[in-house]
Every structure is written in structure tokens, then in C-alpha cells.
Structure 1
Amino acid sequence: MRRIKLLICIIVAASVVSCSSIIGNLTEGLTKSLYKQKDIKLIEDGAPAFLLLIESFIESSPNDKNQLVTGIQTFSAYSSAFVDDKERKKIFSDKTKGWALDLLRTYPLFDNYENIEDRDAKDAAFKKFLSGLKKDDVKYVFWAANAWIMWIIDNLDSMDAFLELPVAKEIVTRIKEIDGDFYYGAPHLFDGVYYSAFPENFGGNLKKAKEEFDVALKLSGEEFLTTKLFYATFYLTAIGDKEGFEKILNEIIDMDIEKYPDTRLLNIVSKSQAEKMIEKVDEMFINLE
């Protein structure tokens, strides 16, 4: 009987490990396939089932960093591409922020930082967490910080958002120190958006914004059109450059997205957004005057 029980335990344990591996490979493969799709209508119709599947995997393994990253990436991408309703966007944003914090809490030093009350000790604990981050951590921590900051931008009318902003910003700054080239220069792209979007008394700086966008544009080239879209949306509108704004949007619209299949879906979304914005350019810049 004991041998049978032991055998059952071994089989169950092996099944759990195997299932976890299969799930990881499945979601990674599906996510890559998602980003390569040409048919945006197919994605819009089919993605909700995939999102529910990912969410169920996260609920089953809430400390799995890879699953949390997949959840953050796919829910953020779907919301950006297909969700216009503000209340629905908030649901997506709240969810990805929650996963972002769950991901960061898988690091004991961050979990320790959150549970400290004393201000000086808390600051010291946060610095210890940042200094302990290595290049292998960037692929996790960046997506957590990105989701957190997107939530902050969506909730600027909240005092909590302003209080959390410096913490999230410091994480991105540390990521940029470790691997500023990560994901087409995304850490530089974030700083370009940050310095463009916020007023000077909250850290905004248009000179720094231009410097960061220049680096991000060089690193992303034509492969990741989101960088160009954000450059136009945040920086060129901030300086009131209507001519430059139209030029960049037309470059995005005219780009051959088939050259880069790995970012096809993201680039289709960027082109679609550029086409909508170019139709409203006069209205946008009148509102800025």
C-alpha cells in the first residue's frame, strides 16, 4: 500500500511539473503567434478566450513570473488595440497593475520593502531591492514597471497614483542602467513618454524627453512602430510641432509591416492608431493652442 501511495505521489508530482512546463510553452507559443497575426479582426474576436485562459493559468500559479508577464503583455496589448470604453480600460489597467505588483512581490527584497513602516528603513530597503536586480531580472521587472506606470498615467486624478510614480520611475531607471536596449529600447521610450507627459514640477523635461526618444527611435528603427507613434503623440504634441507630427504619422502609415513579422500585430495597431489620429490632427492641435 505504501509503495502504491508513493508511486501515486511521484506520478502526481511529475504531472504537475509537466503540466506547468506545457502551460508555459503553450502560452509563450500562443503569444508569439498572436504578435505575428495579420488579421486584426481575427485577433479581436478570438483573443478574449485566450485572455481568459491566461488568467486561469495565473490564478493556478500566482507566483509564476512567466505567466504574470504573459498576462501583463497580452491584456495590455488587447486593451490598447481594442478597448475604447474608459470603464473597461480601467478594468484592464487595474488587473495588469495587480499582476505587476504580484510579480514584484516574488522578489523577497521588494516584498520586504512593502512591509516596512519606517520611512528611512523603507527607502533603504527599496534601494537594496534595486541594487540586487540583475540583467536576467529585466525581462520580468520591466513589464511589471511598465504596467504599473500605465496604471498611474490612467489615474492621474488619484493621489495614490502620484505617490506611486517615483517608485515605479526608479525601477525603470534601474532597468535602463542594467539593459537600456531591452525590447527595442523600451526603457528609453518610457523615459521619453515620462518627460513629455508630466509638467516640470512633477519631473517633466522636454529636453530630456527628446534625448530619450532619440535613443529609443535609433534602437527600434522600423521594427517597432510604437516608438514613433509615442514620439508623435507625446513629444511632438508637447512642443506643438504639427508638421513634424503629421510627418511621423504618415511614415507609420506608409511603413511595410511585412518586413518584421515578429511585431506585425503591434505595428498594425500602431498604423491603425496613426490613421485615426491623422484625421483629427487639426482638432488635436487646436485643443493644444
Structure 2
Amino acid sequence: MKKCYASLLFPVLLLLLSGGCARLAMPVASSMIPGFTRALFEECDLKLARESLPAELKLMEGLLQNDPGNQKILTALCMGFTGYAMLFVEDENPERASGLYLRAKTYGLAAMGIENTDPRQMLIRIQEIPKANIEMLFWTTMAWNAWVNLNLDQPSAIGESSLAEACLKRVLEIAPDFYYGAPYVLMGTILAARPAMLGGDAPKAKTYFENAIALSDGKFLLAQYYYARYYAVRVQDKTLFLSLVNAVSETPPDALREACLINQAVKQKMKALAEIADELFL
């Protein structure tokens, strides 16, 4: 039923818009957006999601032109572009993913009413974001930090890293268990991926990953994947790496239905990672 709901949402809106009924479509769009975002991550068919998501995102951008300040649409666009880049683009085309993450970040900041101008003012605004805005803050944080991690050789990314991390710290302050412990996964990834001179800390990373896995009882597979990819490889713990590979392999993607799309993509990514294990460990 939810898959059907997602597939019908955008044809209906397209008909409304093409018929010159943009004003009529906007209330309908706003009410349907939460259902769309839930249905997106509950989708277990990777091919369907990969092929349909770009068109759906473009249609939402069209809807946004008629209501530029709509928080629900801005948040959904931030979430959608972040998820699309992370699950389907980054491994194949990091440069393109970088642009998509920036796009997502722009939508997320707009949803929170934060102008991308003076860093000091932005930092103050970030530190004041309430828990009620956790969804838009979280996806902005994911997009911004992913962009930074892809561009650590660029001065602009180094310059923005403090703001991206401030967003993450705010998420950890107000809702560390949001989306099955994903904030812990992100912090663990940052600490494991970066060298010590840029704030990396492998022991702390390990703690964050373990906290994330415990929160979902091992059902949110993104935690195991990044734990293996960044921490296990960095400390050259092949035993841990292989145990995480096995855990992901043995867990069905719909063990956590609300994150089936992410789990399905992670299983594919983990399989590819395991195939180059001999190259990753000395």
C-alpha cells in the first residue's frame, strides 16, 4: 500500500500543476510530503528507488518554486538529495555527489531559516535550533559533513568543517538517538576517517559506532558498514571487519522496515567492500 501511495503521489501533483492548478496543488503537496519521505526509505527495491527518485526530486523543486518557504518541501528535498547522493552516487562519482550534497545543504539551511552568510551568526543560529526542528537539522548535518569529507583537500571545506560539526554537535545534544542512532554513525565516521591533526580519534569513533549498533539492535546496517569501512580499516582490525561483513550479510534488509532502502543499499556496498578486503589490510 505504501509503495502504491508513493507511486501515485507525483502523477497526481503533476496533473494539478500542468493544468494550471498550482495553488490547489500546494496544500495537497504539503500534506503528502511526510508520506512520501516515509515511503522512500521503506522501499526495498533499489532499482525502483534509483530510477524514480531523481524525477520526484525535480518535481518537488518545481513545487517549491510556487512556495519557496515551504519547510516540508525544503526538508524533503534536503533529505532526498542527501539520500540519493549517499546511496546511489558517491561511490561511483564523488564529484557529482559533492554537488548534490551542497544542494541538499542549501535546502536544509533554507528550511531552518539560516542564511549562508556570516559564519559567526550561523553558529549562533545553529546552537539555538530547537528539538522540534531535528529532522531538518539532521539531514542538513548529514549533507554538510558528507560534502566536507569529500573535499578535505579543499580550503573551502576545511573552512566550513567547524560549522558542519557544530550542526552535528547540536544534533547529539538534542536527539542523539534520532533515526536509529545515525548521529552516532556520523560522528564515528568523522572521527575514524580524519587524521589526528584534523580531529580524528579512533578510540572515540569505536564508542560511537558501538552506541549506534546497540540503539537499533544491529538492524540499522549503515552503522556496521561505516564501522567496517572507516574504523576497522583504519586500525587494521580484519577480524572486526569480517564480523561486520557477516552481520550485514545475515541481516535481512527489512529487519528495520523504516530503513529498508538504506539497508538494501548497504548490503550491496558491504559486499563490494568485502571483495577488496585483501587490498584494505596489510
TM value normalised by structure 1: 0.82
Pick one of 136, 161, 168 that aligns with 1:165: 161
CA contact (8 A) 1:100 1:148 kept: no
2:36 corresponds to 1:25: no
C-alpha distance 285-25 of structure 1, shift in aligned 2 (>3 A): farther
Pick one of 258, 266, 285 that aligns with 2:281: 285
Pick one of 18, 36, 44 that aligns with 2:42: 36
2:120 corresponds to 1:114: no
Q: Partner of 1:223: helix, strand, or coil?
A: coil
Which residue identity does 2:93 align to in structure 1?
D
2:114 corresponds to 1:92: no
Measure, in 2, the Cα distance between the counterparts of 1:87 and 1:198: 19
User: 1:269 matched to which residue of 2?
Assistant: 265
C-alpha distance 174-90 of structure 1, shift in aligned 2 (>3 A): closer
Q: CA deviation at 1:130?
A: 4.0
User: 1:81 matched to which residue of 2?
Assistant: 87
User: 1:58 matched to which residue of 2?
Assistant: 64
Which residue identity does 1:89 align to in structure 2?
A
Measure, in 2, the Cα distance between the counterparts of 1:135 and 1:216: 20
User: 1:233 matched to which residue of 2?
Assistant: 229
48-57 or 176-185, which deviates more: 48-57
Which residue identity does 1:179 align to in structure 2?
A
Q: Deviations over 1:115-168 (max 9, x none)?
A: 4xxxxxx64x45642442221122221211221111111111210100110111
CA contact (8 A) 1:196 1:209 kept: yes
Unaligned runs of 5+ in 2: 1-21
Which residue identity does 1:22 align to in structure 2?
V
Which portions of structure 1, spanning 4 or more consecutive aligned residues, are displaced by more than 6 angstroms?
none
CA contact (8 A) 1:220 1:227 kept: no
Q: Partner of 2:68: helix, strand, or coil?
A: coil
Q: Deviations over 1:185-219 (max 9, x none)?
A: 22222211111111111111112111211211111
Measure, in 1, the Cα distance between the counterparts of 2:44 and 2:127: 41
Measure, in 2, the Cα distance between the counterparts of 1:138 and 1:212: 19
User: 2:13 matched to which residue of 1?
Assistant: none
TM value normalised by structure 2: 0.84
User: 2:151 matched to which residue of 1?
Assistant: 155
Q: Deviations over 1:90-135 (max 9, x none)?
A: 332232232233234x1xxx44x934xxxxxx64x45642442221
Give aligned-pair identity as a percent: 27
User: 1:72 matched to which residue of 2?
Assistant: 78
User: 2:246 matched to which residue of 1?
Assistant: 250
2:138 corresponds to 1:142: yes
C-alpha distance 160-70 of structure 1, shift in aligned 2 (>3 A): same
CA contact (8 A) 1:257 1:264 kept: yes
Q: Partner of 2:41: helix, strand, or coil?
A: helix
1:150-229 → structure 2 map (5 Å cutoff): 150-229=146-225
Measure, in 2, the Cα distance between the counterparts of 1:178 and 1:94: 24
Taking only aligned residues, the RMSD between alpha carbons, in angstroms, comes to: 2.2
Number of residues of Structure 1 aligned to a counterpart in Structure 2? 260
CA contact (8 A) 2:102 2:144 kept: no
2:51 corresponds to 1:45: yes
